[in-house]
Chain A
Amino acid sequence: MQNETMVDVKGLVKRYGSFVAVNEVSFKVHKGEIFGLLGPNGAGKTTTIEMLVGLRKPDEGTATLAGFDVQKQVNQVKGVIGVQLQSTSLFELLKVEEILHLYASFYPSHIDIPQLISDMLLAEKRTDRIKSLSGGQKQRLAIALALIHDPNIVFLDEPTTGLDPQARRTLWDIVLRLKERGKTVILSTHYMDEAHVLCDRIGIMDQGELIALDTPTNLVKKLQSTSTVEFRLTNPPEQAWFMEMDGVEEVSIKDTFVQLYTDDLQLALISLIQISAEHNLNIEDLQTRTATLEDVFIHMTGRSLRES
């Protein structure tokens, strides 16, 4: 049963006028898997999720969730999915407990509310107004609302955006516990570390297209280069100049910041030091590290996640 397909997305396309927000996106998610959609803002992650949960109509393509067609069987789909939308606000004047009872009434059946409240670490805030909750507490409440009817598939759209590191970690634990309970989770994020920690598989999106799909480890492995040499250099020469160095596979230069990607860290470092001595380059802040998902993204798009 572990390989049962819960989410099957086939060639989804969404256009706004001549702008293509989502272009031919296809992927499958298995039962009990945490699937991450990773990409910069505007990559089409939210639009993809909104098409899956029935908030937007795709222009082309189809998707089935737990066997139900998202366009033809909207009501059944809504019964098996739980949704936490990016930047949703709730009725500010209602209390935590009240809004859970309200949302519970929208479904034929629901799980135990006091238990759900304590699972989401909101027991102290049970009778507080939503207005008074912190960002992290509001996000946990949003997830509680998504879980109220015990759905099989949970959609979390940028659940940790805007939260402080502590609140993010608390939320990660909650997401990992969803997986333990056999839920299928689809989450979108633009944080590398989050995707790496949480997701079993990651789809990298850029400009409306799904450009890579694999486990985090495999994605990093697929980079021809496994290590990075980073340093600062006033007035760095052209990219091609570094490419001629031994062992350097790829070069990225942003102002004074230079990144060299390599498979052979030792060789690249030796040639860097030789070259800098010959040309009298003043290298600062030199450091090396192993490649991350961020590097995967840079490698595939030529841009970093933050700048786009």
Chain B
Amino acid sequence: MRAYWQLTLAQLRIFARNKQVLFFTLLFPVILMLALGSFVGGGNALSLTAGIVDLDQTDGSKTLNNLFDNNEGIETISYKKIETGKEAVENGDIQLLIEIPKGYEASLKDKNQAFSLPVYYNEKNLSASELGLTVVNGIIDQYSKKLVDYQPLVTIKKVGIEALNIRYIDFLVPGIVAMMIMNNNMNGVAGQISAWRERGILRRMQGTRLKASTFIAAQITARLLLNGTQALLVVLIADLIFNINVVGSWLTLIFFIALGTLAFMAIGFIIAGIAKNPESAGPIAGFASFPMLFLGGVFFPISNMPDWIQPIVKILPIAHLSSALRETMNLGTSILQLGTETLILGAWLIGGFVLASYVFKWE
């Protein structure tokens, strides 16, 4: 038992004194979060900006102008001339240009004839323009119905099924935490153990009465403490910078961070056992982690991936770790409803350590 504590302490001291590793393992996820988070934009995934050129300058045209201004789905910029507005559309500064021609108010009063507003858009930016046109169409449609006192008989009511507004950054942060857990543990264990073996550090300890199980248990404890803390720190940083709230229970979050840490550590021990030297441990760990980064739902939702890949994705530990973290952080799902994730991560953990104990070598 004394050996276990001493080894855990020694490992924590080694971590604490290896400032460079500590710094970069923490810095990388934070930078990634900042980069991807600000790059994609904090709020709406797609923002619409429309230019308005009011050539009529009457009360009626101002009412219409205000209508666009007050709509949340669209931002407006006023232009004096049609030409400057069209240029902005071409440059992509705005997606649409709405022209309110002279004689708009006069035409409104003459209710016999529908007035048409020219809306300019860039065909090269079709998806944004289409969306913009739909929004503008909706606004105009509603307005004209009001003007003629038309009472619709059927309307729709928009209800988000999660009743939550989830931004990309909300989706991203749990993924990055999962990625960090994978990297630090799988690659970290594989690299360190194989380096220690190469340098004969493990062989020297084999010459003492120390048992392999004590050594491994201490490794696990120290790494769990360190990597668990690091993962929580990243969640806290995300909370402060991006205002990411942990909707669910922190205990559940800690549980999954610990479970993920252990599962990936087990895989790390397997890699350390297979790798003949520290030079090959890196590429083997890379071989395992690289596909997981892309297929594991870290950066993109798994459901966006082709059907044939889905069965593979569904057994990857990272997919379940990121999904469990996401459910807990974004949706506040209770741990009782995350049975599948717990089960699969648990299976990786147990299977991993069983296999690791077969391939573990002191030298």
Which A residues have a C-beta under 8 Å from some C-beta of B? 53-55, 75, 78-79, 81, 83, 85, 87-91, 93-94, 98-99, 101-103, 105-108, 129, 145
Contact = CB atoms under 8 A, between A and B. Distances in A.
Contact of B209 (A75, A102, A129): A75
B10 A98 contact: yes
Given A55-B206, A85-B203, 17 more contacts: A53-B207, A55-B207, A78-B207, A83-B207, A85-B204, A85-B207, A89-B199, A94-B10, A94-B13, A99-B10, A102-B10, A103-B208, A105-B2, A105-B5, A105-B7, A106-B3, A106-B208
Given A85-B200, A105-B6, A106-B3, A94 B207 contact: no
Contacts, number: 61
18 contacts: A75-B209, A78-B208, A88-B200, A88-B201, A88-B203, A89-B199, A90-B204, A91-B10, A93-B14, A93-B18, A94-B10, A94-B13, A105-B6, A105-B7, A106-B205, A107-B208, A107-B209, A129-B17
A106 B210 contact: yes
Contacts of A87: 200
B182 to A, nearest CB: 25
Interface residues of B, number: 22
Interface in B262-310: none
A93 B205 CA distance: 16
A93 B17 contact: yes
Interface string B309-348: 0000000000000000000000000000000000000000
Contacts of A99: 10
A87 to B, nearest CB: 6
Interface string B1-35: 01101110010011001100000000000000000
A98 B200 contact: no
Contacts of B200: 85, 87-89
B209 A106 contact: yes
A85 B363 CA distance: 13
A99 B5 CA distance: 13
B209 A54 contact: no
A24 to B, nearest CB: 25
Given A88-B200, A94-B13, A78 B209 contact: yes
A131 to B, nearest CB: 9
Contacts of B17: 93, 129
The DSSP consensus for interface residues of chain A is: loop
Contacts of A81: 207
A87 B363 CA distance: 14
Contacts of A55: 203, 206-207, 363
A75 to B, nearest CB: 6
A105 B205 CA distance: 12
Contacts of B14: 91, 93-94
A79 to B, nearest CB: 6
Contacts of B5: 105
Nearest to B201: A89
Contact of B204 (A78, A83, A93, A101): A83
A78 B206 CA distance: 9
B3 to A, nearest CB: 4
A15 B207 CA distance: 21
B209 A101 contact: no
A88 B209 contact: no
Contacts of B363: 55
Contacts of A93: 13-14, 17-18
The CB with the most chain B CB atoms within 10 A, among A85, A101, A105, A107, is that of: A105
- The 3 A-B residue pairs with the shortest CB-CB distance in the complex, in nearest-first order: A105-B6, A106-B208, A83-B207
A145 B5 CA distance: 18
B342 to A, nearest CB: 35
B361 to A, nearest CB: 12
Contacts of B10: 91, 94, 98-99, 102
B199 to A, nearest CB: 4
A82 B5 CA distance: 22
A87 B5 CA distance: 27
Nearest to A145: B204
Contacts of B206: 55
Nearest to B210: A106
A85 B6 CA distance: 22
B101 to A, nearest CB: 76
Interface in B181-215: 199-201, 203-210
Nearest to A56: B363
B193 to A, nearest CB: 13
B209 to A, nearest CB: 5
